[in-house]
């Protein structure tokens, strides 16, 4: 079975994003792939768009800490509340994403920095 990273390539993901006739789930997967594995400049553009979307859809959800690379970190309780799910469900979803993407999404406070 191919990993999420292996399922896409840059050209394919960009073609999907440009298409006006693609299902939203496929478009979302292509955007996620670029955000995680695309060239650094495109990753930054996608992170900025993601931050704007998060603030728009979840205005009460605020980053509480940041990773060493500057990515925002949110309290898992507040994520669960914003999504209308339990803390355990939120942890399970995040753990599944980590496994499928091979990228850390859950951080201990000792791995992050305070907001200045």
Q: How confident is the model over 74-112, as pLDDT tens digits?
A: 999 999 999 999 999 999 999 998 888 888 889 988 898
CA Rg value for the chain: 15
15 shares its domain with 2: yes
CA-closest candidate to residue 46, choices 13, 9, 7, 84: 13
The residue out of 57, 74, 105 marking a domain boundary is 57
Can you tell me the distance from the alpha carbon of 35 to that of 41, in angstroms, rounded to the nearest whole number?
A: 10
- Quote the number of domains for the chain: 2
64 shares its domain with 53: no
Cα separations in angstroms, 108 against 76, 95, 98? 11, 13, 14
Q: Is the pTM of this model over 0.85?
A: no
Say how many Å lie between the first and final Cα of the chain, rounded. 43
Task: Give the pairing of strands 113-114 and 65-66.
Answer: antiparallel
The residue out of 10, 33, 57 marking a domain boundary is 57
> How confident is the model over 6-49, as pLDDT tens digits?
899 999 999 999 999 999 999 999 999 999 999 999 999 998 99
Q: Which domain holds residue 114?
A: 60-116
């Amino acid at each position: 079975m191919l990993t999420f990273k292996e399922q896409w390539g840059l050209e394919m993901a960009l073609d999907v994003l440009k298409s006006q006739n693609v299902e939203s789930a496929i478009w979302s997967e292509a955007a996620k792939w670029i955000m995680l594995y695309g060239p650094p400049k495109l990753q930054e553009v996608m992170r900025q768009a993601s931050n704007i979307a998060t603030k728009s859809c979840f205005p009460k959800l605020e980053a509480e800490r940041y990773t060493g690379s500057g990515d925002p970190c949110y309290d898992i309780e507040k994520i669960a509340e914003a999504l209308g799910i339990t803390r355990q469900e939120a942890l399970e979803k995040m753990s599944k994403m980590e496994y499928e993407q091979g990228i850390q999404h859950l951080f201990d406070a000792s791995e992050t920095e305070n907001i200045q």
